[in-house]
């Protein structure tokens, strides 16, 4: 594969020379970039978790994933084309465009924002033009391969149905749409860079990465079901505002050729589809790139810490305030405040923890969608179903709690060893409490509100009981994976195997508790009776953590 790319590059040598770049150096830089791409981890895999030994094919694997995701577009194309061709075609453009756009923002941002190019390559005898051409070539190759991967399924469908010529036309439109996406993304980047600092920009990118991960997950969950529902779904008429969406331009342009129909509407869509990418390209090259390079160059300078004058104690005291409310000793408060702050600030922690929160939200909506309004009528069995979402919170928490022990800066945990820490259990309890309150509580409140809304005030007992169940499960997760001090283990140790077994055991306990909950709901006031028992269990578990032996804690 890499050989093939390099062959393509060698055909382009005269072009490079014409553009004023040095072909040998362009080739060397692009080859280097491809190697680096293949050794990077991609957000789309959700793989930050565990650094595998040496990845050397991750880029090709990612292309496969994109081909798979793109194939959803072709399913819609097959299913819906007869009823609403423009809708089907637009959809088949929309998916690859979305994929490319998000990939550009999330994974490629590290490449675009990489100032190490400047530090490493520019001190060598390479002129700025060569580096620029190499960068553009690399980005184009990357996008070319990705848009090809994401649209290959649809292209094949079109080839079978309308012939190979139309398939080629489709591919041309696909490439045009990729060009348009580059323009739109660089516009977005420049806006972000214009109005925020580099640190904020990285923060914004992190959230995009999290959304990408959730989007992929939701895609897996929702799309297959949507397709089974498409038969009766498609009464869609095209609204006027649909013409503002870029995928519809391409869908319309393609429809014009396939039908064929060349009325003013389709001609204008075709014009938009063909012209906007080139206008965008021209604007990008002549206006945005210089601006962009200027900003990149100044990133190194911006990165220098600047004295912001006054230190702001407000946020600091807020975590301390919360720690005071929810903890019983200074040591516990220290663990709470540390964990609370790191969970809010550590980008890597967020990248690991937030997607799974998003997954839970997706699962929750799937549940609500599929059960629909059938919850509140009928016998007690279905009304119990309305309680089930409350147990989703547990799934969410399990992952977050097991993440509490890991950090990229685990070495900083030497402070736990160098200080005369007599009761590390209190630090751990503080940490677990911080996670419960920061991550579980909001979700629990929202889901409880939903359950109370659906089930009425008579569901209050269920809500209270599950609250204590979830808290107990949180403690169980904390104990089950071994006593720990917050953020003290290297991320690399995050081995799945051992934890899976424990997690399964805990999940089974959740199931048992759920079954008992269901049993109690059959008895009058049964659930109310269960509440103090569950609260008692939670308290016992809390004590076990707080009073755990010093010897049980290890700091690597």
Partner 1 sequence: MTPVIELQQLEKYYGSTHILKGIDLSVSAGQVIGYIGPNGAGKSTTIKILIGLIPDFLGQASVLGMDVRKDALEIKRRIGYVPELASLYDSLTPLEYLQFIGKLHKLDPAMVERRTMDLLRLFNLEGNASDRMTTFSKGMRQKVLLISGLFHNPDVVFLDEPLSGLDANAVVLVKEIIRQLADSGKTIFYSSHIMDVVERISDRIVIINQGQIIANGSFEELKELRTSGSLEQLFTQLTGNDEQASIAGAFVQTINQ
Where on the chain is the footprint of partner 1 (CB under 8 A)? 24-25, 28-29, 32, 35-36, 39-40, 54, 116, 118-127, 298, 301
Q: Which one, 297 or 412, has the nearer CB to partner 1? A: 297
Q: Which one, 126 or 513, has the nearer CB to partner 1? A: 126
Burial group, residue 304, by CB count within 10 angstroms (0-12, 13-18, 19+) = exposed
- CB of residue 241 to partner 1, shortest distance in Å: 43
- CB of residue 59 to partner 1, shortest distance in Å: 12
Separation between Cα atoms, residue 276 and residue 268, nearest integer Å: 11
Q: Which one, 37 or 461, has the nearer CB to partner 1? A: 37
Three-class SS of residue 407? Answer: strand
Q: Which one, 118 or 221, has the nearer CB to partner 1? A: 118
DSSP for 88-127?
A: HHHHHHHHHHHHHHHHHHHTTHHHHT-THHHHHTTTSS--
Q: Which one, 40 or 341, has the nearer CB to partner 1? A: 40
- CB of residue 548 to partner 1, shortest distance in Å: 33
Q: Which one, 2 or 35, has the nearer CB to partner 1? A: 35
Separation between Cα atoms, residue 104 and residue 181, nearest integer Å: 9
Give the residues across from 407 on adjacent strands.
490
- CB of residue 328 to partner 1, shortest distance in Å: 30
Structure tokens at 146: 């990705």
Q: Which one, 119 or 191, has the nearer CB to partner 1? A: 119
| SS3 per-residue string spanning 199-210 | HHHHHHHHHHHH
- CB of residue 125 to partner 1, shortest distance in Å: 4
Q: Which one, 36 or 283, has the nearer CB to partner 1? A: 36
Q: Which one, 130 or 185, has the nearer CB to partner 1? A: 130
- CB of residue 493 to partner 1, shortest distance in Å: 15
- CB of residue 296 to partner 1, shortest distance in Å: 13
- CB of residue 52 to partner 1, shortest distance in Å: 12
Separation between Cα atoms, residue 166 and residue 172, nearest integer Å: 10
- CB of residue 24 to partner 1, shortest distance in Å: 7
Contacts of 438 (CB under 8 A, 6+ apart): 340, 343, 344
Closest CA to 470 of 538, 405, 409: 538
Structure tokens at 70: 């793109």
- CB of residue 424 to partner 1, shortest distance in Å: 26
Q: Which one, 121 or 464, has the nearer CB to partner 1? A: 121
Closest CA to 374 of 455, 452, 450, 446: 455
Q: What share of the chain is helix, strand, coil (3-state, %, to 5)?
A: 80, 0, 20
- CB of residue 36 to partner 1, shortest distance in Å: 6
Q: Which one, 305 or 372, has the nearer CB to partner 1? A: 305
The structure tokens 């869908």 sit at 251
Q: How far is CA 184 from CA 101, 174, 191, 289, 291, in A?
A: 8, 15, 11, 13, 15
Separation between Cα atoms, residue 153 and residue 4, nearest integer Å: 22
Three-class SS of residue 415? Answer: helix
Q: Which one, 29 or 62, has the nearer CB to partner 1? A: 29
Peptide bond into 457 cis (omega under 30): no
Structure tokens at 22: 């040095």
DSSP state of 65: H
Distance between the two ends of the chain, CA-based, in angstroms? 41
Alpha-carbon 457 to chain mean position: 36
What value does the CA radius of gyration of the chain take, rounded to a whole number of Å?
28
- CB of residue 345 to partner 1, shortest distance in Å: 23
Separation between Cα atoms, residue 150 and residue 11, nearest integer Å: 25
Q: How far is CA 195 from CA 183, 204, 205, 297, in A?
A: 18, 12, 14, 16
């Amino acid at each position: 594969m890499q050989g093939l790319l390099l062959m393509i590059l060698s055909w382009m040598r005269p072009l490079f020379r014409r553009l004023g770049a040095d072909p040998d150096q362009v080739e060397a830089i692009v080859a280097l970039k491809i190697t680096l791409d293949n050794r990077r981890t991609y957000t789309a895999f959700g793989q930050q978790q565990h650094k595998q030994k040496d990845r050397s094919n991750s880029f090709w694997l990612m292309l496969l994933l994109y081909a798979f995701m793109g194939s959803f577009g072709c399913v819609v194309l097959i299913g819906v084309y007869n009823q609403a061709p423009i809708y089907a075609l637009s959809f088949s453009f929309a998916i690859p465009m979305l994929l490319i756009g998000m990939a550009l923002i999330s994974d490629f941002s590290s490449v675009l924002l990489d100032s190490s190019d400047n530090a490493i390559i520019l001190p060598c005898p390479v002129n700025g033009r060569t580096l620029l051409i190499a960068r553009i070539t690399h980005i184009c190759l990357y996008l070319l391969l990705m848009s090809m991967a994401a649209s290959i399924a649809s292209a094949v469908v079109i080839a079978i149905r309308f012939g190979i010529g139309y398939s080629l036309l489709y591919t041309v439109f696909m490439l045009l749409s990729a060009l348009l996406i580059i323009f739109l993304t660089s516009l977005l980047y420049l806006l972000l860079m214009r109005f925020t600092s580099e640190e904020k920009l990285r923060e914004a990118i992190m959230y995009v990465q999290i959304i990408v991960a959730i989007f992929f997950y939701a895609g897996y969950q929702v799309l297959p079901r949507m397709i089974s529902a498409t038969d009766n779904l498609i009464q869609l008429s095209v609204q006027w505002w649909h013409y503002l969406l870029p995928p519809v331009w391409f869908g319309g342009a393609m429809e014009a050729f396939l039908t064929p129909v060349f009325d003013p509407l389709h001609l204008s869509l075709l014009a938009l589809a063909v012209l906007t990418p080139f206008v965008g390209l021209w604007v990008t090259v002549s206006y945005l790139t210089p601006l962009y390079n200027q900003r990149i160059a100044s990133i190194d300078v911006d990165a220098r810490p600047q004295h912001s004058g006054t230190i702001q104690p407000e946020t600091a005291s807020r975590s301390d305030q919360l720690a005071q409310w929810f903890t019983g000793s200074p040591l516990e408060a220290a663990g709470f405040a540390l964990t609370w702050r790191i969970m809010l600030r550590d980008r890597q922690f967020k990248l690991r923890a937030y997607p799974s929160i998003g997954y839970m939200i997706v699962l929750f909506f799937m549940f609500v969608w599929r059960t629909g309004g059938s919850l509140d009528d009928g016998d007690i069995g279905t009304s119990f179903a309305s309680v089930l979402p409350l147990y989703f919170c547990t799934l969410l928490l399990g992952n977050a709690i097991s993440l509490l022990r890991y950090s990229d800066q685990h070495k900083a945990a030497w402070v736990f060893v160098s200080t005369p820490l007599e009761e590390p259990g209190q630090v751990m309890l503080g940490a677990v409490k911080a996670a419960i309150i920061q991550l579980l509580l909001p979700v629990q409140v929202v889901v409880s509100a939903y359950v109370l809304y659906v089930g009425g005030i008579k569901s209050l007992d269920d809500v209270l009981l599950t609250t204590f169940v979830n808290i107990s499960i949180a403690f169980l997760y904390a104990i089950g994976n071994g006593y720990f001090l917050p953020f003290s283990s290297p991320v690399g140790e995050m081995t799945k195997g051992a934890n899976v077994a424990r997690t399964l055991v805990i999940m089974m306990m959740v199931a048992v508790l759920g079954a008992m909950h269901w049993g109690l709901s059959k008895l009058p006031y049964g659930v109310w009776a269960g509440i103090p028992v569950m609260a008692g269990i939670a308290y016992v578990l809390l004590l076990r953590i707080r009073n755990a032996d010093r010897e049980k804690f290890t700091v690597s």
